[in-house]
Amino acid sequence: MRQLEDMLEYHSRKYYIDNAPEISDFEFDTLLRELQDLEAQHPDEVNPNSPTKRVGSDITNSFKSVEHRYPMLSLANTYSSEELGEWIDRITKEIGEVEFVAELKFDGTAISLTYENGALSRAVTRGDGRRGDDVTDNVRTIATIPLRLMGEGYPSLFEIRGEIYMPYASFDKLNTEREAQGEPLLANPRNAAAGTLKQQSSQVVARRGLACTLYHIAGDNLPSDTHYGNLMAAREWGFPVSSHIKVCRTRKEIEEFIAYWDTERKSLPYATDGIVIKVNDYAYQRTLGTTAKAPRWAVAYKFQAERALTRLLSVDFQVGRTGAITPVANLDPVQLAGTVVKRASIHNAQQIAALDIRLGDMVYVEKGGEIIPKITEVELSERPAESKPFEYITHCPECGAELVRYEGEAKHYCPNTAECKPQIIGRISHFVSRKAMDIEGLGGETIELLWENGLLRDISDIYSLDPIQLAALPRLGDKSAANIMEGIRRSKEVTFERVLFALGIRFVGETTAKYLAGHFLSLDAIASATTEELAEAEEVGSKIAVAITEYFAQEHNRNIIERLRSAGLRFEAAAKSLASEALKGKNVVISGKFVGRSRDDMKAMVEAHGGKCLAAVSANVDFIVAGENMGPAKLQKAEKLGITILDEERFMVLINNNTDGADDTPAESAPHQEASATPIQGRLF
């Protein structure tokens, strides 16, 4: 079994990494089947990193949240040669002439891989930068990622980070299969890669043809003191490191590299959206340090969005869960950024009028950062003589209700929230989504199926579903029905703030729902609050307050709420046990970057000791906890209002001593005192 593992790993590298296969696919499959047979006979001897794991499993995964050993920071972006030059000038002014490394910026989803004693032990997504999802089982199926390392000289424990992406060929194949099965097409390779990596079945992941490139090592006892040197070592260990990397010593060399790939990237078999430039030497990286979000020793130069000229054939109108109407253009198919584009967003009636878009026009389409490409310009020189101004629809294309346009809103809306099918299905899809009620098994197609069979008319109907009725439906059966019912049962344990978010009230996102739940503590209190009282809660302005009031004013929504209450959903915030009342009644602002703690950690400590976190500096603030790089505007306003500013150390003393708050803070703590934070080491990025 060990010999077969070694042979299969060797031939995988020759095929996927070196592009120099030495045996046929048939011979490789024969070796793999032999190993699978042996593993079936000797299950106690199966290696968790066996090449057979590449095939995946149909066992449902449950992704565990894992804290990153080193934070996964973002990169600062620049979009012009002038901005890039300013960044280079700042670097050279601070530390003198340095070497840079220029690399392609892959358009995929970030991943961090941990290797222990040469074997893959864990794979974690970026998440929020501090914590990500453990997707190890899924990552083991990606053929370009080594399960065991070759050669020597690698540390006993280290992380290597990079990008998991979907090559154009895999993306096109997947969409062809989905089209044949009548499933909605995926928007682009980046989203397809991210969605695939979070599939519950690693067997599905294995079939979708993901690939990976790795571009940064984090850990101790690395073989080189330079970024480039460590990447070359990683390549020797069997990692898929891009060959399109260059050490540059001048700005001119960097600009030549960018100019070359701005053109040549169109011939690559995968998506790229820019060039990343990094200081090569680790000692200089440590000197430059990081900001709260990004290293100062690296920057991403983003390519200008590609655009193509094609003809506008017609316009469809889509209805979202909030009733918002979105016009979508149907185009003559055109090649753009590696994919064939047939549809593009026009956003709203204002944009159509501003660009004077008309049916039959030749239009320029860009992808940029959009999921759906957008029309950016009309080629007026090719406009047909008989063209007429576009007439925007006045009634909902789904239910026929007359559209309305709210004050201050660019979009038109269908007001028929209780009976318009796409609104209802959209609200149900939002309700069951992972960040809301997290009910597995109720995907878009299943919700549509239940609607068509009269089993779902609003979100409260979910809790009246019958497993026998579910099992009798096409494509479901007993197992799927049981999974759905178990997901529904577990959803009754979801916290109040997520229930509030799941209701789908206009403008009430995750963050707003959290603040509303913390401020009012129950759904009844929110429902009975006046618009003025709602607007007093943090992150809730007059616009959101009006939307909440309108939601609870509708009898249809109140009836749904009562049915959800009867089903046992949580409509009250759980009582929190405080670590102390040191900050009881105190309003606190957290600002800047802290040593070993995120701002979210600091906010959690404030709340744990009875305090309340505010986002903005105002006369209501009792004190500010300031880390490194506190915003100058906040500092200026705090000094003007005479607000006490504590550094991290004094804040920790305050809560650990269980004092009554900041009233006893010595006067010398204001004005602002610099926190004794030290920058994260460059090699930890």
User: pLDDT, tens digit, for every residue of 31-58?
Assistant: 888 898 898 888 888 888 788 877 655 4
Give residue-wise pLDDT tens across range 139-156: 999 999 999 999 889 999
In this predicted structure, which of 4-8, 289-293, 348-352 has the lowest mean pLDDT? 289-293
Residue 671 has what pLDDT?
34
Based on the domain organization, do 47 and 98 belong to the same domain?
no
668 within domain boundaries: yes
Chosen domain end from 302, 319, 338: 302
Six token digits for residue 98: 């340095």
387 within domain boundaries: no
Torsion of CA 507, 508, 512, 514, to 10 degrees: -170
Residue 666 has what pLDDT?
33
Based on the domain organization, do 546 and 517 belong to the same domain?
yes
399 within domain boundaries: no
Chosen domain end from 284, 302, 320: 302
Based on the domain organization, do 43 and 102 belong to the same domain?
no
Residue 20 has what pLDDT?
72
In this predicted structure, which of 179-188, 244-253, 406-415, 574-583 has the lowest mean pLDDT? 179-188
- Name residue 336's amino acid: L
Q: Which helix (H) or strand (E) covers residue 133, if one does?
A: strand 131-133
677 within domain boundaries: yes
10 within domain boundaries: yes
Based on the domain organization, do 38 and 114 belong to the same domain?
no
Based on the domain organization, do 551 and 597 belong to the same domain?
no
Q: How many domains does the chain have?
A: 6
Based on the domain organization, do 148 and 254 belong to the same domain?
yes
575 within domain boundaries: no
Beta strands in 528-670 (DSSP E): 587-591, 612-613, 623-626, 644-646
User: According to the 3-state scheme, what is the secondary structure of 587-624?
Assistant: EEEEECECCCCCHHHHHHHHHHCCCEECCCCCCCCCEE
Chosen domain end from 356, 382, 408: 382
For 470-490, what is the mean pLDDT? Answer: 92
Based on the domain organization, do 363 and 280 belong to the same domain?
no
DSSP 89-118: HHHHHHH-S--EEEEEEE-SEEEEEEEETT
The vertex-653 CA angle with 652 and 656, nearest 5°, equals 80
| Domain CATH number, residue 539 | 1.10.150.20
Six token digits for residue 10: 């060797």
Q: Which helix (H) or strand (E) covers residue 160, if one does?
A: strand 157-165
In this predicted structure, which of 59-68, 242-251, 464-473 has the lowest mean pLDDT? 59-68
High-pLDDT (> 70) share of the chain, %: 91
- Catalytic residue numbers read 105
Cβ-contact 39, 46 below 8 angstroms: yes
Cβ-contact 375, 346 below 8 angstroms: yes
Which residues touch 178 (CB under 8 Å, ≥6 apart)?
184, 185, 186
**To which residue do tokens 């549509």 refer?**
448
398 within domain boundaries: no
Based on the domain organization, do 27 and 71 belong to the same domain?
no
82 within domain boundaries: yes
Based on the domain organization, do 516 and 654 belong to the same domain?
no
| Domain CATH number, residue 378 | 2.40.50.140
User: Can you give the residue range of the structural domain that contains 13?
Assistant: 2-55
Based on the domain organization, do 220 and 242 belong to the same domain?
yes
Based on the domain organization, do 375 and 297 belong to the same domain?
no
Residue 303 has what pLDDT?
87
Burial zone of 536 (CB within 10 Å; 0-12 exposed, 13-18 middle, 19+ buried): exposed
Based on the domain organization, do 219 and 333 belong to the same domain?
no
